[in-house]
């Protein structure tokens, strides 16, 4: 029997292709795993009205970890039209499977390391090594939304919030509300995860990103929690920045940043920016980590326009596999895999189109595997 049960969820479009490349590397490492394919993606939405079927949920429950490719996602309105005719008009609503997975399995840490590997022609600057910790379960992602806004919601918000007076007189369909909901526990555990990581890997500080000057209740709580938890880590400095300002500082002085932590949506934004600075879509990898399960993925989407071409860069997915190995305690293999990636990048012979080369997705996977 294999040591690890890995759920293998290629998903849609180029997700399938980059996962193949990652598999080549995991096999070359002789990673002792049993891989079980899980259905997920647009196809299952269309056929079953469920992009993340219960059988896949069950598979995840029995897995040590999962690798996930990418998923096509479309606006709610367009999604309905693509259902098989029998399923239309039943009020089925498409919700992003990855967002649901994060919430369902309480994968509260979204870890996104963004490192400028030497020799990558796409680096914004040499020496960048940013690690974004993004809260992964709440915030504007909680799904607490009103459109139209019911009368009793209006009444209760008006009773408690003076600034809401301004909106309370509008008809319910003249506006919409999305509640940004953040819990103390949610803030604490992601910030603690960031500090623990800084401690373990020797980063001198943690940067708390927020918008406490305006979004006081929730982001203020996040910042205060950061200050409180920082006291538990006397060896690690804490600084903080507004989410708007940090986009400037990141470009201006990227080497000033290492571990960064933010609430869900701000983390989503900042981690994309950071990923772009170390090569973009082909390099942004992501771990969705809970206490019992973790799901690793490239941050990019299913790129319908490239699907079937085996063209996209699988490095993001291969680095996601490295993160999985680390999380499973297979750090020796994880380190070897990262070194192989770094070696191929440094050599500069095998490059996918985004890097200015013409290697295919699988060429890249194989080149990395050969270094193992």
Residues lying near ligand IPM in the complex (CB under 6 A): 73, 96, 98-99, 213-214, 244, 268, 299
Side by side, the strands of the sheet bearing 237-242 are 33-37, 4-11, 65-70, 294-298, 285-289, 109-115, 129-135, 259-262, 205-210, 237-242
Residues 287 and 111 sit within 8 Å (Cβ to Cβ): yes
Burial degree of 14 (CB within 10 A; 0-12, 13-18, 19+): buried
Asked if residue 234 binds its own copies (CB under 8 A), the reply is no
CB of 53 to ligand IPM, least distance (A): 18
Asked if residue 306 binds its own copies (CB under 8 A), the reply is no
Asked if residue 235 binds its own copies (CB under 8 A), the reply is no
The catalytically annotated residue of 244, 255, 292, 305 is 244
Residues 355 and 121 sit within 8 Å (Cβ to Cβ): yes
Asked if residue 141 binds its own copies (CB under 8 A), the reply is yes
Interface residue with its own copies, options 181, 343, 362, 372 (CB under 8 A): 181
Residue 146, strand partner residues:
177
The catalytically annotated residue of 12, 139, 240, 268 is 268
211 in active site: yes
CB of 284 to ligand IPM, least distance (A): 8
Residues 21 and 362 sit within 8 Å (Cβ to Cβ): yes
Name which of residues 85 to 114 contact its own copies (CB under 8 A): 96, 99
Rank residues 198 and 270 by Cβ distance to its own copies and give the closer one. Answer: 270
Number of residues that bind its own copies (CB under 8 A): 75
The CA distances from residue 71 to 283, 296, 305, in Å, are 17, 13, 13
How many angstroms separate the CA atoms of 111 and 271, rounded? 9
244 in active site: yes
CB of 341 to ligand IPM, least distance (A): 21
CB of 114 to its own copies, least distance (A): 12
Rank residues 111 and 328 by Cβ distance to its own copies and give the closer one. Answer: 111
| Nearby residues of 327 by Cβ (< 8 Å), 6 or more positions away | 65, 287, 289, 294, 296
The catalytically annotated residue of 211, 311, 322, 333 is 211
**Catalytic residue annotation:** 141, 211, 244, 268
């Amino acid at each position: 029997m294999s040591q690890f049960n890995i759920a293998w969820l290629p998903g849609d479009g180029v997700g399938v292709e980059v996962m193949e490349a990652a598999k080549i590397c995991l096999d070359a490492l002789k990673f002792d795993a049993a891989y079980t394919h899980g259905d997920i993606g647009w196809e299952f939405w269309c056929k079953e009205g469920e992009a993340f079927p219960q059988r896949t949920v069950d598979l995840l429950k029995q897995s040590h970890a999962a690798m996930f490719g990418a998923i096509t996602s479309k606006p709610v309105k367009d999604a309905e039209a693509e259902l098989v005719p029998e399923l239309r008009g039943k009020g089925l609503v498409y919700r992003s499977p990855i967002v649901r997975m994060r919430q369902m399995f309480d994968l509260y840490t979204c870890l996104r390391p963004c490192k400028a590997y030497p020799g990558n022609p796409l680096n914004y600057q040499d020496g960048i090594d940013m690690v974004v910790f993004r809260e992964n379960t709440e915030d504007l992602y909680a799904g607490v939304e009103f459109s139209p806004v019911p009368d009793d919601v209006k009444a209760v918000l008006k009773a408690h919030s003076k600034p809401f007076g301004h909106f309370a007189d509008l008809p319910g369909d003249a506006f919409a509300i999305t509640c940004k909901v953040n819990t103390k526990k949610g803030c604490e555990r992601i910030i603690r995860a960031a500090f623990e990581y800084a401690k373990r890997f020797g980063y001198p500080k943690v940067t708390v990103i927020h918008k406490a000057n305006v979004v006081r209740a929730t982001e203020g709580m996040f910042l205060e929690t950061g200050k409180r938890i920082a006291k538990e880590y006397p060896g690690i400095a804490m600084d903080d920045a507004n989410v708007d300002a940090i986009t400037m500082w990141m470009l201006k002085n990227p080497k000033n940043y290492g571990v960064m932590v933010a609430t869900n949506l701000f983390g989503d934004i900042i981690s994309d920016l950071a990923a772009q600075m170390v090569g973009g879509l082909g390099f942004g990898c992501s771990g969705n980590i809970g206490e019992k399960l973790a799901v690793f993925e490239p941050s990019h989407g299913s790129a319908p326009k490239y699907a079937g071409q085996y063209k996209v860069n699988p490095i993001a997915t291969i680095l996601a596999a490295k993160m999985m190995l680390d999380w499973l305690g297979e750090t020796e293999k994880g380190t070897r895999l990262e070194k192989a990636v770094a070696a191929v990048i440094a050599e500069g012979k095998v490059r996918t189109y985004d890097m200015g080369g013409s290697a295919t997705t699988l060429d890249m996977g194989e080149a990395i595997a050969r270094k193992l």
